[in-house]
Chains A and B, each alone.
Chain A
């Protein structure tokens, strides 16, 4: 006994050392050294600096300078919040202003495993914010029925990786409801399906996926991926208000990591416009969600090293997407790179690249490059070599410019 006690203490001391939590509901540091530590000597693949990235509004002034915001918002107040809080605020506003809005899904009532629905059940009652049984096809089908009878349900699928049981309901039912109802005019456009998606450093096969391309192949759906708290709030409110079913994919790694100044009052961002985050003249990078931060870091390094100028575009709405903004940029720069986390084959990049090839053929000075996940699954310890990182984007810029 006496001999055992010290070793137990040593073990518990070891286990208590700060490390990345698998637990999404507990405050964690997504970029702690445990799983995204830079290799010794790394210059490009270093942890992303969310505190200083130019993609987030670190001051109230920059947040309010957004020309897409209406006048009264631009004169209003801002508050520094993270992405899950922005989602929560959007849901709260939607519940407050429209009695037809419902929020439900698995484990919603206590606040959700990512805290996005915190305090909503207590404030709006469990008739409007409630848990469903653990069945994605059931809860999405339920949402479609409620929407078809005029409500505006916001259903949550706990992880995008688990949306597949509901794929039939989304693809064959939600997307086709208005079309097949014809002149009866019945539709389920009030429907919004939220789902956390994308890599998180240690999610392995079933907590990492970005299945947006599967939904961009379905006419009748809108697919939206926000990159920041400002976008999450404005795009989610627009999605809930939209008369089409919307798949709203929230990059879960940004829930806590992305913090910025967000207007306190409610506002709506357009569901059919891309956003030019940085102008440039030599190459255009098109991306959305988390990889935009990777791109931004890679651009900073590349511009410094090669003296080039890179334009960065956030697609925001993946389908229907803003071809005009992308094409006019590529016609200017003559070169394009598309970056996303999900697999390259038949991904969003394939559609963007094919459209650029078709519409800007004579202006292209290099092949359109795709930086995307490889044709494999995201095995736990291999994420660092599968998900596009700063080095791969940096190299893509180099190759595209040198072509």
Chain B
């Protein structure tokens, strides 16, 4: 952009003339306007202050490095704690609840996938293989932390208290749906649970999380009063923003710009990447050539960890520690890459056996998955057995189906919701459109089936009356 050079030059002059104290305080890496002296050991270029001179011509070649970033875990595949001094870092009741939530999620997924196949839902996406990531990380956060998700994090909602009824209302887009029937299935959102509504556009939520984290930072500092009172009984705590995304979404420009701005503004934000090996049909080998997503963190100056996503205890410990780091010294971003395998199809619109072998999927299901690993640990501590498993599964199945049937029977939202909430109020232009649509509905009643909607074809009347 051609005019920028001038700005840079002027700024340097201004800085020299009037050193701005407040700027120096808030900038973690003050840009020094000092050229290197003749016999300086370090370069002192403003763009890389700690770079030392070298006489060796040697390119940094990650492709030649044999060492990938290690993957942190607490539990092995057999459900054994690896480091007894650390332990599971959880109480028995907590562990049981985590397990129950994982089972609930997997049963809901199974039933809803089937419901879509029967044509009772328009769309669905399962979390199979990634239940530990969403449930584990959500359990490590404070309920008032603000969360942004991609779409394969239903476990976050479940762990935070989103009810089966609320899931089903959204899936059926009925009149109780928080989204008022506007979004595709699986695009959940909840104000009470501090989770922003999902949008289909990939990675757009990543810079949102950085911006939200900046708002939280100002609130943590008391620069701005807390926006939205804490829920009743909830203690006011310092908050972080948390953002989930897949490894495919991390290829979007928004990922880059978000991590960069999060680092320059030092915001308390935890970026959690679910690296499950595939973005629809695209394997990671076509997605990137670096060492996963974690290797990028350092490039942005962000504290980073790679975690075994099938190990819910490892995810919990990682996110707990990430939260502590994120709030340290007023705030900083942290990146956590959770390794997993997408056991299910990408969505109900995808047949993944078109691009990967069935045996590969079966192998992952059998060899390692977050549910069985935790179950083995629970069984090892005599907290769980086949009878309880059977009872839990049967009970949950019933609960899901009951919620499903109730939601399916409920009416669709009032058709006025097609027009409201675009702007704060209904505009004159919209009012004209509503009037025209209402006229069409009146003169061609048989062409539209609106009886299933609350208020039927008369739903628009309310908008026409208000002026």
Q: Is the CB of A184 within 8 A of B191?
A: yes
Q: Is the CB of B189 within 8 A of A107?
A: no
| A244 touching B254 in the complex, CB below 8 Å, given contacts A130-B26, A173-B199 | no
Task: Identify which of residues 22-65 in chain A touch chain B, using a CB-to-CB cut-off of 8 Å.
Answer: 22-26
A213 CB to nearest chain B CB (Å): 16
Q: Is the CB of B207 within 8 A of A122?
A: no
- Which B residue sits closest to A109, measured CB to CB? B23
Q: Is the CB of B3 within 8 A of A113?
A: yes
Contact mask A170-184 → B, CB, 8 Å, 1/0? Answer: 001100101111111
- Write the residues of chain B forming the contact surface with A, with a CB cutoff of 8 angstroms: 1-4, 6-7, 10-11, 14-15, 20, 22-23, 25-27, 146, 148, 177-180, 182-183, 187, 189-191, 196-197, 199, 201, 204, 206-216, 218, 221, 223-225, 227-228, 241, 253-254, 256-258, 260-261, 264-265, 417, 421-424, 427-429
CB-contact partner of B216 in A99, A149, A179, A182, under 8 A: A149
Once the chains are docked, how many angstroms separate the CA of A186 from the CA of B227?
12
| A138 touching B427 in the complex, CB below 8 Å, given contacts A178-B422, A180-B187 | no
CB-contact partner of A135 in B14, B260, B424, under 8 A: B260
Chain A contact patch, size range? 35 or more
Q: Is the CB of A182 within 8 A of B201?
A: no
Q: Is the CB of B211 within 8 A of A146?
A: yes
Q: Is the CB of A178 within 8 A of B421?
A: yes
Q: Is the CB of A149 within 8 A of B212?
A: yes
List of B residues within 8 angstroms of A222 by Cβ: 423
Q: Is the CB of A148 within 8 A of B212?
A: yes
- Write the residues of chain A forming the contact surface with B, with a CB cutoff of 8 angstroms: 22-26, 99-100, 106-107, 109-110, 113, 121-122, 125-128, 130, 132-135, 137-151, 153, 158-159, 162, 165, 168-169, 172-173, 176, 178-187, 189, 206-207, 219-220, 222, 242-244, 272, 320, 323-324
Most chain B C-beta atoms within 10 Å of own C-beta, residue among A142, A173, A320: A142
Q: Is the CB of A122 within 8 A of B22?
A: yes
Q: Is the CB of A182 within 8 A of B179?
A: yes
| A142 touching B261 in the complex, CB below 8 Å, given contacts A137-B253, A149-B227, A162-B1 | yes
List of B residues within 8 angstroms of A134 by Cβ: 4
A127-B223, A142-B210, A180-B189 given; name 6 further pairs at CB < 8 Å. Answer: A113-B3, A159-B1, A182-B189, A183-B179, A220-B422, A320-B429
Q: Is the CB of A182 within 8 A of B177?
A: yes
B413 CB to nearest chain A CB (Å): 9
Main secondary structure of the interface of A (DSSP, over half): loop
Once the chains are docked, how many angstroms separate the CA of A141 from the CA of B260?
12
**Could you name 5 residue pairs across A and B whose Cβ atoms are closer than 8 Å?**
A141-B206, A142-B211, A179-B421, A181-B191, A206-B1
- Which B residue sits closest to A171, measured CB to CB? B201
CB-contact partner of A183 in B3, B180, B224, under 8 A: B180
- Which B residue sits closest to A124, measured CB to CB? B22
| A244 touching B204 in the complex, CB below 8 Å, given contacts A141-B258, A149-B212 | no
List of B residues within 8 angstroms of A180 by Cβ: 179, 182-183, 187, 189, 197, 199
List of A residues within 8 angstroms of B146 by Cβ: 149
Q: Is the CB of B4 within 8 A of A121?
A: no
The 6 closest A-B pairs by CB, nearest first: A138-B257, A141-B207, A145-B211, A150-B227, A145-B208, A149-B215
List of A residues within 8 angstroms of B208 by Cβ: 141-142, 144-145, 148, 173
Once the chains are docked, how many angstroms separate the CA of A125 from the CA of B223?
11
A237 CB to nearest chain B CB (Å): 17
A349 CB to nearest chain B CB (Å): 17
List of A residues within 8 angstroms of B427 by Cβ: 272, 320
- Which A residue sits closest to B424, measured CB to CB? A243
Once the chains are docked, how many angstroms separate the CA of A207 from the CA of B4?
12
List of B residues within 8 angstroms of A220 by Cβ: 422-423
Q: Is the CB of A182 within 8 A of B260?
A: no
Q: Is the CB of B428 within 8 A of A138?
A: no
CB-contact partner of B7 in A110, A121, A187, under 8 A: A110
A329 CB to nearest chain B CB (Å): 16
Q: Is the CB of B20 within 8 A of A121?
A: yes
List of B residues within 8 angstroms of A242 by Cβ: 424
List of A residues within 8 angstroms of B196 by Cβ: 148, 181, 186
List of B residues within 8 angstroms of A121 by Cβ: 20, 22-23
Once the chains are docked, how many angstroms separate the CA of A138 from the CA of B191?
24
CB-contact partner of A142 in B1, B11, B214, under 8 A: B214
List of A residues within 8 angstroms of B182 by Cβ: 179-180, 182
List of A residues within 8 angstroms of B212 by Cβ: 145-146, 148-149
A98 CB to nearest chain B CB (Å): 10
Most chain B C-beta atoms within 10 Å of own C-beta, residue among A26, A130, A181: A181
List of A residues within 8 angstroms of B25 by Cβ: 126
A151 CB to nearest chain B CB (Å): 5
Q: Is the CB of B423 within 8 A of A181?
A: no
Once the chains are docked, how many angstroms separate the CA of A255 from the CA of B263?
33
- Which A residue sits closest to B429, measured CB to CB? A320
Q: Is the CB of B428 within 8 A of A173?
A: no
Q: Is the CB of A23 within 8 A of B27?
A: no
B323 CB to nearest chain A CB (Å): 17
Once the chains are docked, how many angstroms separate the CA of A153 from the CA of B6?
26
Once the chains are docked, how many angstroms separate the CA of A158 from the CA of B2?
11
Once the chains are docked, how many angstroms separate the CA of A250 from the CA of B204?
27
Once the chains are docked, how many angstroms separate the CA of A320 from the CA of B180?
24
Q: Is the CB of A138 within 8 A of B258?
A: yes
Q: Is the CB of B253 within 8 A of A165?
A: yes
Most chain A C-beta atoms within 10 Å of own C-beta, residue among B210, B212, B216: B212
Once the chains are docked, how many angstroms separate the CA of A165 from the CA of B252?
12
B226 CB to nearest chain A CB (Å): 9
List of A residues within 8 angstroms of B179 by Cβ: 180-183
Q: Is the CB of B261 within 8 A of A113?
A: no
A257 CB to nearest chain B CB (Å): 18
Q: Is the CB of B197 within 8 A of A189?
A: no
List of A residues within 8 angstroms of B257 by Cβ: 133, 135, 137-139, 141
Once the chains are docked, how many angstroms separate the CA of A148 from the CA of B417?
21
A89 CB to nearest chain B CB (Å): 21
Q: Is the CB of A178 within 8 A of B191?
A: no
List of B residues within 8 angstroms of A122 by Cβ: 20, 22
Q: Is the CB of B197 within 8 A of A132?
A: no
A355 CB to nearest chain B CB (Å): 9
Q: Is the CB of A145 within 8 A of B228?
A: no
- Which B residue sits closest to A21, measured CB to CB? B6
List of A residues within 8 angstroms of B20 by Cβ: 121-122, 126
List of A residues within 8 angstroms of B1 by Cβ: 158-159, 162, 206
Once the chains are docked, how many angstroms separate the CA of A242 from the CA of B213?
23
List of B residues within 8 angstroms of A179 by Cβ: 182, 421-422
Once the chains are docked, how many angstroms separate the CA of A127 from the CA of B183?
36
Q: Is the CB of A169 within 8 A of B204?
A: yes
Q: Is the CB of B210 within 8 A of A151?
A: no
Q: Is the CB of B260 within 8 A of A244?
A: no
Q: Is the CB of B7 within 8 A of A168?
A: no
B10 CB to nearest chain A CB (Å): 6
CB-contact partner of A130 in B7, B189, B191, B265, under 8 A: B265
B242 CB to nearest chain A CB (Å): 12
Once the chains are docked, how many angstroms separate the CA of A390 from the CA of B456?
55
List of A residues within 8 angstroms of B218 by Cβ: 127, 151
A26 CB to nearest chain B CB (Å): 8
Q: Is the CB of B11 within 8 A of A110?
A: yes
- Which B residue sits closest to A136, measured CB to CB? B257
B20 CB to nearest chain A CB (Å): 6
Q: Is the CB of A138 within 8 A of B422?
A: no
Q: Is the CB of B189 within 8 A of A181?
A: yes
